[in-house]
Amino acid sequence: MQMLLVLVALVTAAAALSPEHTEPGQLALILGEEEFEDYLDAYLKHEYNNYANSSNAGVYARTGCTIKVNGGLGHPQPVYIRNNRYLTANGNSGQIRLNANEQVVISCPGSRRTIRHPNIVSNVQTATAKCVNNAVISGAGWLNGNGYFRQLTCSSYPYHEAQSTISRCYGNNLVIRVGYIVNNVFHTLYYSCYNRSRMEVLYVWYEQTPENAIHQTDVERPSWMAGNFYTGVPVHKMYTQTQQKAAIAQYVGRNMAQRYVTNLKYLARGHLAAKSDYVFATGQRATFYFINAAPQWQPINAGNWNALEQDLRARIGAAGYRTVIYTGTFGVMQLRDGHYRFQDIYLVPNRTQIPVPLYYYKVAYDPSRRIGTAFITINNPYYTPAEARARQFCTDRCRNNGAFNWMRWQPDRIDIGYSFCCTIDDFRRTIPHLPSFQTNGLLY
Ligand SMILES: *[C@@H]1O[C@H](CO)[C@@H](O)[C@H](O)[C@H]1NC(C)=O
Ligand SMILES: *[C@@H]1O[C@H](CO)[C@@H](O)[C@H](O)[C@H]1NC(C)=O
Ligand SMILES: *[C@@H]1O[C@H](CO)[C@@H](O)[C@H](O)[C@H]1NC(C)=O
């Protein structure tokens, strides 16, 4: 009977699943982890189309090159470097602009990978392309004549890596950097502050600017990667629903575990740096490391947490903020056992590793304006209203504040993630992770 109800709900939802009509947040309680990601992608693609058609973003510059983030890039995609940094779009336009004769380094890092193009004349891994006009480039010594930028691809996906660094973060934990190596330079996409013995990601950090407003849609999801950071633990397996049910059962018993972990409520691999926070396919693919994730209840992942990710990125794009985003986890989520006692939950009970976090947070900080806001979501759909409120550790600055009317989250919805905002100073009194920086006001 229950199965039948679920099926009916899914079929009904599928019929209404049109990205023109249904906001992703409305499907938080219906779709699974991967179905939701696909739906979100289709929804954003539609939004971007509307945006492109309603603005002058489609007008080509008179000279130089214009390459669309959606439609102008090849697959499998090379890494593009300009002036020793990742190529970016022009503001929030969703278009890359190059001056006539401006150069972009094109690279397919990884062993035996080479650049491909219909006009290729030599097998190179890294080369320099020069803007001719529109979406046309030239490549002295490796391309024959002029060719389309979009037709530059790699023989297979570029190789990205997650490397330990000698830097340390809060509590002497390890800093890992994730990115691509081009011409012997490591180009970082994000850093992760990671407790290796507890297998806990404290936070990751990366830049978000107006250039991130529009990302490439239709990028296939790769498999998740452990890198060298989960010695002795089959982390893929620990996230499966069977295994998480077994783990939770060790704390609260089989019967209770069956009630907590269901077809629609289970622990997903909650991205910290979101896939859609990266403009290019190459960046998006590199977000699938477990050191960029923590167990997050799926309705929360797809609910208020996703609303925050999307709204914050759009707000940064609209307001022109140049921010550093710290996205992290704190505390351990608890579930009640058969005796109504709270138990801490870890995905690897026998070794007390991979805690299921109580809090997910995102701190957005604009250093040039010295403004910042901490956004927090409670990762437990099973709390009562009193239990959720008791875990709110600051005055909520977003609530009843018109300055935050760009946010679509529903902060009182415990089932999709009870949420609140803090000043940076208030946030630090409970969550001491972040490096010190001063703010004079909220970012909104
Ligand atoms: C925007 O324009 C493109 C190309 O002209 C078209 O394919 C697309 O359907 C339009 N999008 C919307 C939402 O009208
Ligand atoms: C890392 O985890 C270990 C094991 O749980 C713990 O003893 C240690 O205090 C943690 N380190 C930090 C800095 O949190
Ligand atoms: C954890 O310990 C329990 C009890 O000692 C054992 O039954 C179970 O197989 C262990 N699980 C794993 C994944 O090692």
Below-50 pLDDT ranges, the chain: 1-8, 11, 15
The catalytic residue positions are 271
Predicted pLDDT of residue 53 = 61
Predicted pLDDT of residue 11 = 46
Q: Which amino acid is at 141?
A: G
Predicted pLDDT of residue 56 = 54
Task: Using the atom order of ligand 1, give the atom closest to the CA of residue 53.
Answer: 1
What pTM value is reported for the model? Answer: 0.91
3-state helix, strand, coil in the chain (%, to 5): 30, 30, 40
Backbone angles phi, psi at 92, to 5 degrees: -95, 25
Distance CA 302, CA 309 (A): 10
Question: Which among 169, 193, 197 is the best mutation to test ligand 2's pocket, defined by most ligand atoms within 8 Å of the CB?
Answer: 197
Backbone angles phi, psi at 337, to 5 degrees: -90, -175
End-to-end CA gap in the chain: 47
Q: Which amino acid is at 372?
A: G
Residues with CB under 6 Å of ligand 1 are 49-50, 53
The closest residue, in CA terms, to atom 10 on ligand 1 is 49
Which residue from 335, 203, 206 is spatially nearest to 259, judged by alpha carbons? 335
Model confidence over 25-44: pLDDT tens digits? 888 888 888 888 888 888 88
Predicted pLDDT of residue 8 = 44
The closest residue, in CA terms, to atom 12 on ligand 2 is 171
Confirm whether residue 306 is marked as ligand binding: no
Predicted pLDDT of residue 54 = 62
The closest residue, in CA terms, to atom 7 on ligand 1 is 49
Which residue from 135, 124, 118, 126 is spatially nearest to 81, judged by alpha carbons? 126
Backbone angles phi, psi at 355, to 5 degrees: -65, 145
| Residue 405, ligand 2, Cβ within 6 A | no
3-class state of residue 141 by DSSP: coil
What ranges make up the beta strands (E) of 69-210? Answer: 79-82, 85-86, 95-98, 103-107, 115-116, 126-133, 136-138, 146-148, 153-154, 161-169, 173-182, 185-195, 200-208
Model confidence over 78-113: pLDDT tens digits? 999 999 999 999 999 999 999 999 999 999 999 999
